Amino acid sequence: MIFLCIPYARFANNKMEKFEIVSYNEKAQRELDFWKEKMVKKPSFTNKLAKNFQNKINSLIPEKFHEGITAVVKNMSRTVLFGSRFTSGKPLNDLSLEEREVKIRRKIDSYKKVGAASGAWIGAGGILLALADLPVLMSIKMKLLFAIAGAYGYDIRNYQERLFILYIFQLAFSSHEKRAEVYQKILTWEEHRKELPENINDFDWRTFQQEYRDYIDIAKLLQLIPGIGAFVGAYANHQLVDKLGETAMNAYRLRLLNNSIEKLD
């Protein structure tokens, strides 16, 4: 039997009676449109129940764990903005969208594997090792975001580009209510960047930390349960890195589209 592989071909009703050739840019545009719909979608009844459950869980988690997450998020965020620990190399120029995203997807896959391995190893070690996993996971995520920024051609030596990275992070790991607010900032980034505080200490650290902490608390709590901690740790880290990669790709696609650097249609 011979199979004909047509890149990005789309079949109607799973039948070969009709198909269309879809370019990579068209495929990316459709993915972006679908993602944009998710960003503005109102929380469902299930989402509200999950949020109430999250609040219940938060009250059961040891305060030491809460404090550990808050400290890790704050320190890592400041490192992103002020330090030289994370680099992306020279921004990639003169590449098509497809060439950029082939590299980016490889990076995401690589970092998902690293995150899963870290979560599996630490997931069997109790609360102290679970706390140790937090800075490791944060470091993995931030390195991935810097790599993605460079692959899209943005220079992270610029303070505003580093702040955009933090907004991507916040967008990926926020509640529905906060997500809509952050999404609007990314959607209108060129206008919003003109209003950015000159003093980075004016950035809303408290909300940034709280949203991330609430988002990952359930997964990290389950990671403490003997017998399933390793599995939960590997799965949670894998999914968290995957979600961050998807959010970053679409956030930068929005900028490319809005700036007309490379139309996605």
Q: pLDDT band at 205, cuts 50/70/90?
A: low
For the question of whether the overall pTM of this predicted structure is more than 0.85, the answer is no
**264 token code pair:** 């996605």
19-45 pLDDT, tens digit per residue, is: 567 799 999 999 999 999 999 887 766
Mean pLDDT calculated for residue range 67-73: 71
**HSE-up (13 A, CA, CB side) for residue 182:** 24
Sign of CA dihedral 222, 141, 174, 180: negative
Q: Are 112 and 122 in contact (CB under 8 A)?
A: no
